[in-house]
């Protein structure tokens, strides 16, 4: 009987050990982390984003509308109705629907480029939040050490209780700020996953960093390219051409003193003014983008120097404190100043990166996204 009990006990221990090993193995299995470069992220968004899929459907719908208009024009041409409305349906409507199809196709291209900018902005926002988490963690570590030093000095009778309490408040405050920064990072990651249509629980890791290489551009060449290539410029020119055709058709059918002809003149003049307005808008967009690009780049160096100065100031204050020449409050202020300068620099980097992206969009595609 005792032998049987021993065997059962050994078996139970063995089973418990196997269960524990399986449990530990399960705990050691970590979710797969998706490594994402900036280009990978853009590609995934262009492939998976729901808004872009809807934009593609709109292009296909416009293709059907154009085909129907073209078929109707052929039927009217065969029947030769001889009315002005018939003439418009035969000559003007197909060109109008063709233009609408071109607008939809270019709109889809613009939508893709807008999505590219949104992905870049979201990607860089995560990098910015990561920099903030790092800065907060650095300040937290400093605050923790300062609290430990203040406590040690208090126990040795070198500082007052007030110094310990001030250091403790700073330590707890920075601990909360670090936790808050990590939550904000998680929120930015959620927004990013939404753009790429990824599962919210998918772990991601950014593999690229900010690009701080100066973007060399020519304002004159950029304006020339914008007036030639921008989608809104192409659309404005096509509308002017379309309503010039409408005016010619009205002139072939009506005399210049009729309401129908005057209406056609009004529409054509309106399209000409819209084109003129669009030219002015392109120049404004690119000039403003040029100023933002250069201004944000020029802000990088002084922001970086401020970080270096703040670090040196903190080093000196720590030495002074160690020798009884500075107070706990002086150290805490120096720590906060260093953190603030680090975040100002990180924001300057983010601003330059986005201004370069927006400038490219303003030249090639349209008004920058606000």
> What confidence category does residue 66 fall into, taking pLDDT thresholds of 50, 70 and 90?
low
Of residues 22 and 220, more confidence is placed in: 220
Q: Is residue 91 scored above 90 in pLDDT?
A: no
Q: Residue 192: its pLDDT value, please?
A: 95
Task: Name the percent of the chain lying above pLDDT 70.
Answer: 86
Q: Is residue 292 scored above 90 in pLDDT?
A: yes
Ramachandran angles phi, psi of 259, nearest 5°: -65, -40
The 8-class DSSP code of residue 367 comes to: S
| Per-residue model confidence as pLDDT tens digits over 178-214 | 999 999 999 999 999 998 999 999 999 999 999 888 8
> What confidence category does residue 70 fall into, taking pLDDT thresholds of 50, 70 and 90?
low
Q: Residue 368: its pLDDT value, please?
A: 54
Q: Is residue 143 scored above 60 in pLDDT?
A: yes
Give the residue from 200, 226, 270, 231 showing the smallest Cα distance to 111: 231
DSSP string, 100-112: HHHHHHHHHHHHH
Q: Residue 26: its pLDDT value, please?
A: 41
Mean pLDDT across the stretch 324-340? Answer: 92
Beta strands in the chain (DSSP E): 33-36, 203-206
Q: Residue 67: its pLDDT value, please?
A: 75
Mean pLDDT across the stretch 215-224? Answer: 93
- Reported residue count of the chain is 370
| Per-residue model confidence as pLDDT tens digits over 5-64 | 444 444 444 444 544 454 444 444 446 899 999 999 999 998 888 888 888 887 788 777
Q: Residue 316: its pLDDT value, please?
A: 96
What global pTM score does this model have? 0.76
Please tell me the least confidently modeled range out of 62-71, 132-141, 156-165, 193-202. 62-71
Residues 59 and 105 sit within 8 Å (Cβ to Cβ): yes
Which domains, from first to last, does the chain contain? Answer: 32-364 (1.20.1600.10)
Please tell me the least confidently modeled range out of 42-56, 94-108, 297-311. 94-108
Mean pLDDT across the stretch 318-333? Answer: 91
Of residues 88 and 264, more confidence is placed in: 264
CA distances from 62 to 56, 69, 195, 231 (A): 10, 11, 26, 17
Q: Residue 77: its pLDDT value, please?
A: 56
Mean pLDDT across the stretch 132-144? Answer: 94
**Can you say how many angstroms the Cα of residue 293 is from the centroid of all Cα atoms in its chain?**
16
Ramachandran angles phi, psi of 205, nearest 5°: -140, 125
Q: Is residue 313 scored above 60 in pLDDT?
A: yes
Of residues 23 and 337, more confidence is placed in: 337
Of residues 12 and 161, more confidence is placed in: 161
Q: Residue 242: its pLDDT value, please?
A: 86
Q: Residue 307: its pLDDT value, please?
A: 95
Q: Residue 109: its pLDDT value, please?
A: 82
Q: Residue 211: its pLDDT value, please?
A: 87
Per-residue burial over 299-309, b if 16 or more Cβ lie within 10 Å, else e, is bbeebbebbee
- Average of per-residue pLDDT values in the chain: 85
Q: Residue 2: its pLDDT value, please?
A: 47
Q: Residue 5: its pLDDT value, please?
A: 45
């Amino acid at each position: 009987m005792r032998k049987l009990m021993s065997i059962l006990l050994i078996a139970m221990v063995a089973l418990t050990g196997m269960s524990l090993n399986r449990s530990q193995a399960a705990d050691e299995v970590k979710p797969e982390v998706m490594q994402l470069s900036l280009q990978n992220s853009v590609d995934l968004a262009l492939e998976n984003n729901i808004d872009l899929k809807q934009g593609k459907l709109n292009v296909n719908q416009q293709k059907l509308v154009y085909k129907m208009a073209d078929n109707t024009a052929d039927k009217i041409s065969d029947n030769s109705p001889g009315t002005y409305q018939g003439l418009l349906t035969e000559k003007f409507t197909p060109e109008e629907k063709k233009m609408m199809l071109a607008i939809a196709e270019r709109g889809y291209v613009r939508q893709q480029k807008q999505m590219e900018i949104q992905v870049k902005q979201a990607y860089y926002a995560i990098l910015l939040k990561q920099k903030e988490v790092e800065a907060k963690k650095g300040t937290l570590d400093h605050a923790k050490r300062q609290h430990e030093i203040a406590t040690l000095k208090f126990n040795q009778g070198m500082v007052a209780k007030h110094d310990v309490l001030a250091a403790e408040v700073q330590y707890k405050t920075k601990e909360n700020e670090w936790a808050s920064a990590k939550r904000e990072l998680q929120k930015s990651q959620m927004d990013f996953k939404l753009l790429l249509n990824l599962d919210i629980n998918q772990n991601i890791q950014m593999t690229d960093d900010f690009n701080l290489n100066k973007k060399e551009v020519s304002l004159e060449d950029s304006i020339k390219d914008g007036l030639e290539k921008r989608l809104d410029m192409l659309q404005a020119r096509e509308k002017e051409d379309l309503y010039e055709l409408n005016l010619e058709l009205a002139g072939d059918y009506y005399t210049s003193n009729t309401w129908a002809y005057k209406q056609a003149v009004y529409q054509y003049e309106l399209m000409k003014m819209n084109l003129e307005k669009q030219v002015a808008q392109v120049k404004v967009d690119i000039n403003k983008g040029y100023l933002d690009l250069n201004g944000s780049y020029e802000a990088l160096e002084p922001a970086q120097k401020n970080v270096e100065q703040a670090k040196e100031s903190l080093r000196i204050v720590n030495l002074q404190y160690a020798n009884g020449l500075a107070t706990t409050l002086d150290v805490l202020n120096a720590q906060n100043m260093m953190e603030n300068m680090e975040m100002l620099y990180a924001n300057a980097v983010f601003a330059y990166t986005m201004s370069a992206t927006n400038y490219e969009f303003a030249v090639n595609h349209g008004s920058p996204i606000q």
